[in-house]
Chain A
Amino acid sequence: MNLEAIKSEIEANVPGCRLELVANPSPSGQHSLRTGAEHAVAVAVYLRDAEDLRFDFCSNVTGIDWPSREVSQKVKVRKLVDGVEQEVEEVRKTALPGTLEVVYHLFSVEKKHGPISLRMSTIDRDANVHLPSLTPVWRSAELQEREIFDLFGVVFDGHPDLRRLLMWPDFTDHPMRRDYVDPDDYEYEPTAHDEVLRRAQQHRSEADEEHPGEAGER
């Protein structure tokens, strides 16, 4: 499967749609297609129904959390140094806003090809976390989209039954986000160090205040 060909085929058949080919530089070379949220359902329907593609099986849906980050790039620029023009390396920093990304892995059972990865990203990680649900296209995405809603906080518009899957309804956090702070339910660690050691010391001083003299014996 030539991803470049699929990309241009979709762009020709879905009006107004522009896809981005996300290259994977690793040896596996599993490149993926990124679609905008507004055309996602149309792209998905085309991938599923087109005669030569027939991606009829969505095997996996997963989420990725990208916190806002700075990317530094080394760029060579010509500059005047001590009156002489020289080529100098300069570090340019670009701030990337945080997003939540959702990846769909698609196979074709009928044509026996695949996988291809379809990605889409939210605008940010706080208020604009809406993405169109692809459950109406591939029913197998239903529970996995619910899981992403639960653990990453992506809201899938058009999902038939969007509830939390693993945590309870009143839970407000999204545990798979990178900035998630888990509750401090301390448990004894035999080789406490770093953060665990700090917590152990804190719990110990609290316990010392509550029951003085008891802590040392245990």
Chain B
Amino acid sequence: MDEKLKNELSKQGIFTTTLQNLYNWGRTNSIWPLNFGLACCAIEMIATTMARYDMARFGAEVFRPSPRQADLMIVAGTVTKKMAPLVVRLYNQMPEPKYVISMGACAISGGPFKQGYNVLKGIDRFIPVDIYIPGCPPRPEALLDAFMELQKKIDEQTLTGEKRPRHLNAGEPSEFVVPRYGAHDLEPTKNPNLWKAPLVQISQAGTDESGSH
């Protein structure tokens, strides 16, 4: 709709909008997070919901105890390999459209436990992550910032076309593989359709022509 005409009409007391705007307006302002925390980041998440930071201003004060009623998964804390299948299963049980905030160094990459044997090196190996928040743990302001970024992202999504949410695209998967507990590690160790090992130019400094040190 023409922006000038819309302004003119609103001056005359006629409010016009599109279905898409209405739909996104509703979605962005009532994102209900799933009520679960994995480690110390969860404490910051709880602080964000309380009076001082007051996440209710963004319509996200209703933390749902069931994945069936949640729109947003805040992966707040260290995802151990023992916990990873359960996180993926909870994500699979959430109804579309659904979003994921990966909160803190551990949920992004394993954080300080990256070299360990029992910590998943980032939840994005198994589920698609929309917003990453660095920090150990991130402050409540950082979570609010991520939340506003997510609202922007939802607002930019369209009902049709390239930018439509994943669930409106028949070619996109609706469920993600839940890893099994293997003898040495999770099986599979990652979802290959979702996550590929980041490859960078390996520095050749300190090596001669033949490639040896």
Contact = CB atoms under 8 A, between A and B. Distances in A.
Contact of B201 (A170, A182, A216): A216
Interface stretch (A42-50, A102-110, A201-209): A201-209
B151 interface: no
Contacts of B114: 187
Contacts of B122: 187
Interface stretch (B29-37, B70-78, B90-98, B177-185): B177-185
Contact of B200 (A168, A173, A183, A218): A218
B17 to A, nearest CB: 41
A171 B184 contact: yes
B184 A173 contact: yes
A150 to B, nearest CB: 10
A186 B197 contact: yes
- Which of A171, A182, A215 counts the most chain B CB atoms within 10 A? A171
A188 B197 CA distance: 7
B118 A175 contact: yes
Contacts of A166: 82, 118
B199 A204 contact: yes
A167 B81 CA distance: 8
B201 A185 contact: no
B198 interface: yes
Interface string B111-125: 000100110011000
B185 A185 contact: yes
A192 interface: yes
Interface residues of B, number: 24
Consensus secondary structure, chain B interface:
loop
Given A204-B202, A207-B197, A218-B200, A187 B109 contact: yes
A215 B199 CA distance: 6
B185 A188 contact: no
A12 interface: no
Contacts of A171: 181, 183-184
Consensus secondary structure, chain A interface:
loop
A41 B69 CA distance: 54
Contacts, number: 60
B110 interface: yes
Interface string B179-213: 00111110001100000111111110000000000
Contacts of B202: 192, 197, 200-201, 204
Contacts of B82: 166-168
Interface string A145-188: 00000000000000000000011111111010000101101111
Nearest to B198: A188
B181 A203 contact: no
Contacts of B117: 173, 175, 180, 182-183
Nearest to B120: A185
A141 to B, nearest CB: 22
Contacts of A168: 81-82, 181
Contacts of A170: 181-183
Interface of A: 166-173, 175, 180, 182-183, 185-188, 192, 197, 200-201, 203-204, 207, 215-216, 218
Given A166-B82, A216-B201, 18 more contacts: A166-B118, A168-B81, A170-B181, A170-B182, A170-B183, A171-B181, A171-B184, A173-B184, A180-B117, A183-B185, A185-B189, A185-B190, A187-B197, A188-B199, A200-B202, A203-B199, A204-B199, A218-B200
16 contacts: A168-B81, A170-B183, A171-B181, A171-B183, A175-B117, A185-B121, A185-B185, A185-B190, A187-B114, A187-B122, A187-B197, A203-B197, A203-B199, A207-B196, A218-B199, A218-B200
Interface of B: 81-82, 109-110, 114, 117-118, 121-122, 181-185, 189-190, 196-203
